[in-house]
């Protein structure tokens, strides 16, 4: 076995001689921030999966030095790395043996999705450094992020792309490559923070905006920021109906309570294909009534709603309209003949795609009829709230996404005859949402899901609209 032990004096000598080093501090973030060797980066890994993921991204042409409190954990990990061919070492007796100056960190080593969202809303000095490969980045990203693949960060050319006067947040798919990126930046004296859980967790951020607030009606639009999913809370007389809830379901309770509302009913407009519905879980934890379309099959205990039904919430009546096209059982919910919740049928910028159930011509025909004979027949100023918005689509008004029959009539697709519309829609080929077939089965109730699995299952853009030029 190669001797992996290294002393404090030897490390210091290597630093003075400018030997290429990758110093990874395995201690808790709190201890690391309180004092660490200059140029080191925090690398606390809690599972073998994390260790293996990070190990696969470490450079093999640099000496790797691991540091902990007393040398025990670091020696085990250094020996593991050595067995896989790395020039790995650990500091003998840990950080307590270091007799040189320690530096304090100004920022945490990781940042949660919620904290990053709050930071982006309030702080203009955040630089988002996405270290995934260009193809991954092109697929979906956080707006404003700059792509520098991880491999480039170990080259001198990367220095020119990274500002010195901003808070740097590194991003990848799950947080492993971004952690390695913090190592590479630390070598150059640049502090950075890794997005915990990467893009998979970013997809789980929920942001609430109040769309309507009057004496007897409250409508809250909840945006799944990284995914473009939209759901809604409709409240009246202290009661609330949640339409198309996403994970995590606990956030809806929080949003409702802020408006003095108790969730008593939960409903999905249709069987979703791009994201996991939280309807069942939300109904369970709030003891609310659960509703699904009578025209779709579910293996979940629920109440059925059909065309012409009325759902009561406080003083309000929610009218149900069957609006097939995206799915056979899609429903739209109308309140006061002023507000409609259209699911994936009609969006701000487009219409729902009809090809996710392999009946594209039939569903395209239904979609045309639904939009022209039902949704566009609503009052011209009816606010129609969709369940998605596409990447780069700006909110209609003050952070709220909606359309109206008057606005929708300006969509080029809706100027076509029925035959032209069907031919056009059938001819458009857009990649389907990732894991869509599994997600449909989960939402149908035929296969189980636990909350920890949701981020990975939902990874990627929503792709539920027609993308036409």
Residues acting as catalytic residues = 172
Distances (CA, A) of 38 to 15, 195, 296: 10, 22, 60
Which contiguous run of DSSP H or E holds residue 79?
Answer: helix 72-83
Q: Say what the alpha-carbon torsion angle 316, 322, 323, 324 is, to the nearest 10 degrees.
A: 150
Which pair of structure tokens corresponds to residue 268? 């999905």
Residue 161, number of CB atoms within 10 A of its CB: 13
Report d(CA 375, CA 414) in Å as an integer. 12
DSSP one-letter code for 246: B
Residue 383: closest CA among 351, 418, 441, 341 = 341
Distances (CA, A) of 64 to 2, 87, 181, 341, 396: 14, 6, 15, 56, 51
Distances (CA, A) of 17 to 3, 28, 190: 21, 29, 20
Report d(CA 49, CA 41) in Å as an integer. 19
Which contiguous run of DSSP H or E holds residue 239?
Answer: strand 239-243
Residue 133, number of CB atoms within 10 A of its CB: 16
């Amino acid at each position: 076995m190669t001797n992996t032990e290294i002393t404090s004096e030897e490390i210091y000598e290597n630093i003075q001689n400018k030997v290429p080093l990758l110093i990874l501090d395995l201690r808790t973030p709190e201890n690391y921030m309180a004092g660490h060797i200059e140029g080191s980066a925090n690398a606390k890994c809690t599972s073998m999966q994390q260790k293996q993921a990070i190990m696969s991204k470490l450079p093999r042409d640099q000496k790797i030095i691991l540091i902990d409190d007393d040398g025990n954990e670091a020696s085990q990990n250094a020996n593991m790395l050595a067995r896989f061919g790395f020039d790995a070492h650990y500091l003998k007796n840990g950080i307590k043996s270091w007799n040189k100056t320690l530096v304090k960190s100004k920022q945490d080593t990781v940042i949660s999705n919620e904290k990053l969202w709050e930071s982006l809303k309030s702080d203009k000095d955040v630089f988002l450094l996405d270290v995934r490969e260009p193809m991954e980045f092109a697929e979906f990203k956080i707006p404003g992020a700059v792509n520098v693949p991880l491999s480039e960060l170990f080259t001198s050319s990367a220095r020119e792309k990274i500002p010195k006067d901003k808070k740097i947040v590194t991003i990848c798919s799950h947080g492993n490559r971004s952690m390695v990126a913090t190592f590479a930046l630390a070598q150059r004296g640049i502090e950075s923070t890794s997005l915990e859980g990467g893009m998979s967790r970013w997809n789980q951020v929920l942001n609430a905006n109040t769309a309507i607030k009057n004496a007897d009606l409250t409508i809250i639009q909840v945006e799944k920021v990284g995914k473009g999913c939209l759901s809604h809370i409709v409240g009246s007389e202290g009661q609330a109906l949640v339409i198309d809830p996403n994970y995590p379901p606990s956030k809806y309770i929080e949003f409702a309570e802020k408006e003095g509302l108790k969730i008593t009913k939960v409903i999905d407009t249709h069987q979703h294909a791009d994201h996991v519905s939280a309807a069942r879980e939300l109904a369970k934890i709030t003891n609310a009534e659960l509703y699904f379309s009578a025209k779709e099959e579910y293996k979940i205990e629920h109440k059925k709603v059909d065309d012409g039904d009325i759902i009561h919430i406080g003083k309000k009546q929610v009218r149900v309209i069957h609006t097939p096209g995206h799915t056979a059982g899609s429903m739209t919910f109308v309140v006061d003949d002023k507000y409609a919740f259209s699911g994936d049928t009609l969006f701000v910028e487009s219409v729902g795609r009809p090809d996710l159930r392999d009946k594209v011509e039939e569903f395209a025909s239904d979609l045309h009829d639904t939009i022209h004979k039902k949704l566009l027949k609503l009052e011209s100023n009816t606010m129609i709230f969709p369940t998605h918005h596409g990447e780069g689509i700006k909110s209609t008004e003050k952070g709220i996404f909606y359309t109206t029959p008057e606005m929708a009539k300006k969509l080029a697709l809706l100027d076509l005859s029925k035959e032209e519309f069907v031919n056009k829609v059938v001819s458009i080929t857009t990649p389907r949402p990732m894991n869509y077939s599994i997600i449909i089965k989960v939402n149908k109730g035929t296969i189980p899901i636990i909350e920890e699995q949701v981020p990975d299952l939902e990874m990627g853009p929503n792709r539920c609209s027609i993308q036409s030029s």
